[in-house]
Amino acid sequence: MKQKNIIILSIIFVLVVFVVIVSLISRIEPKPVFEDQPFDNVMLIDTSEFSDGLPNPTSVVTYPLDEFDMGISEKYTYKIDINNDGKVDKITKTFFDTGNAHAYYKYTIELNKNSKYVDITPDGLQTTNGADCDLRQIQFRFKPSFQITVINREMGDTWDEPTTAYKKTFSLQDDKLTESKEFKMRKICDVKELF
């Protein structure tokens, strides 16, 4: 009987130790995989669907939505040297959920200057997403040099009514994003098809 109690207590002890170890491990935040690595070492996301051109994020933080399913739901951080100065810069992509099909991503671009991040984001650098058609999309390119392409269109009488789309690009010159002249494209519903 005494030997049986020792075996049972040993099993309980091992289980308690296992539960404690598992709970401690689950509380440890994983280190970002790509932090402070040059862009050449970062694997790009390869999909046949539209992509904003950003590589795999360094970190992703999720947030709870309010009672109306609205608010910031995800924030992606990308650590990439975008101006080729050997310092890791930062792009942040924040997903704003609106409780309907018209959510959007807002982007922030920051250069690493003297170990401080300096925001160089152009005004209004965000998407306009819809259930069937996106009115505004953004795509990043890193080679041969950093560039942002924005294609947008105005809403017609309805969200899905095709209207003329316009394209503009932002290029990095002297650590500032310079906007190109807007280029008129064709009428379309979903601007993703023009990338």
pLDDT at position 25: 57
Domain that holds residue 60: 32-194
Looking at the fold, whether 3 and 57 belong to one and the same domain comes out as no
Long-range pairs for 73-76: beta carbons < 8 A, 24 or more residues apart: 73/97
> Per-residue pLDDT tens for 113-125?
999 999 999 999 9
189 in helix, strand or coil? coil
Looking at the fold, whether 60 and 92 belong to one and the same domain comes out as yes
pLDDT at position 49: 84
pLDDT along the chain (195 residues), means of 10: 73 70 53 40 54 95 93 96 94 95 96 95 96 95 94 95 97 94 96 95
pLDDT at position 16: 72
pLDDT at position 62: 94
H helix count then E strand count, the chain: 1, 10
Looking at the fold, whether 60 and 128 belong to one and the same domain comes out as yes
Task: Please tell me the pTM assigned to this model.
Answer: 0.74
Please report, for residues 32, 43, 116, 173, 178, the alpha-carbon distance to residue 83 in angstroms, rounded to integers and kept in the order given.
22, 19, 15, 9, 13
Looking at the fold, whether 86 and 23 belong to one and the same domain comes out as no
Looking at the fold, whether 16 and 112 belong to one and the same domain comes out as no
Looking at the fold, whether 26 and 115 belong to one and the same domain comes out as no
As for how many domains the chain has, the answer is 2
